[in-house]
Amino acid sequence: MKLQSWVEVPENSDFTIYNIPFGIIQYGELPPRAAVAIGNYAVDLSVLFEKGYFDNDLLDVNYFDSYILNPFIGLGKETTSKVRLHIQNLLSTNENRLKEDQDTREKAFIPLEEVNMQIPIFIPNYTDFYSSIEHATNVGTMFRDPDNALLPNWKHIPVGYHGRSSSIVPSGVPLHRPKGQQVIGDSTTPVFGPSRLVDFELEMAFITNTNTQLGNAIHVNDAEDYIFGMVLFNDWSARDIQKWEYVPLGPFLAKNFGSSISPWVVTLDALEPFRVESPKQDPEVLPYLQYEGKRNFDIQLQVAIQPENQEETVVCKSNFKYMYWNMSQQLAHHTVNGCNIEIGDVYASGTISGKTPDSYGSMLELSWRGTKPLKMKDGSERKFINDFDTVIMRGHCEKDDIRIGFGEVKSQLLPAKD
């Protein structure tokens, strides 16, 4: 059914009536609270609750008067989906109550440029997967045997590792160039200093809505019941530190210095019209990873680099639909051993690369280990990310005149601290 909103929504807005993403805003002298975005406005849900727009059959407590979304997300998919539909109806031309309530609108509708976006959730745990076959093949080709780019387990399990949740920051928060050990050239002796090869990784992440008990597993076909929504995710990497440290246990200092998350959480409900088939998995996966239905999503992604005080240059156009392992498989594998999950956990996809060079989701691939520098609009070149560069990631879905988007995650790299 075609929906329209009485709120003015600019053409090509990410935040249409079909979206209704949730986030945490702060404005004026008020403490942070939950909101949704539509058009150029953030709608303060705490104000709507106080004004009686959520009856007791829907919500009996103001879960929106919170600096994190966890209390609301933890109500579970059945409740949060009903609340989203209720908000969507309030903002649609089907319902005039809020439209005609000028006093409430003046209090609740805040221009986006006047709000400070906060990190939307408290993140107890963070897992990073490695689920793009194109990315894994490119990296394997560069660093190992091109004829055996994928390790033997790659097509059998969604490879992942546990990351550092405390260093995940919201869009707009800068990060400093990390320091660590690295080996230069053919040397086998490490030196210590700032990373010379800082990189972005274009990823998306899903957020879970439930606490499970240790020992319980989530079935692959039930996994989406445990997922509230998705965000854009920049998993910053220091490639020279990573190369030295990743054997035998994997990434450590090369990754834990920071990751950046977009502030608006787009629900799986909003993504429903954009489902697509996943890439064919060959060989056939084990039964606990075999799923029913379409479990991937057509999400168009873009990365731009903006040198300080200069125009941005788009360096990558990719798509989430390329993911070999989908979110349901990732969560099923993550818990099949009895690992418990928590409300607000973040699970990143791994770098999202396509088949063409302009769709590679990292500078490591785009510049092919620095051998093919990228030219910026200001005439400068990039092999990796320079100090004071800002990396901007965007994502949206579009089909049959329906558009929803994630906004952007934007982060500047500052010089290493003394």
**255 within 8 A of 237, measured Cβ to Cβ:** yes
Measured at the alpha carbon of residue 244, what is the angle toward residues 241 and 246, in degrees to the nearest 5? 90
CA angle 24, 295, 205 (to 5 degrees): 30
CA 133 and chain centroid, separation: 19
Instruction: Please check whether residue 101 is in contact with residue 47, taking contact to mean a CB–CB distance below 8 angstroms.
Output: no
Active-site residue (options: 86, 135, 333, 396): 135
Spatial distance between the Cα atoms of 119 and 117, rounded to a whole number of angstroms: 7
Catalytic site residue 219? no
Catalytic positions are 135
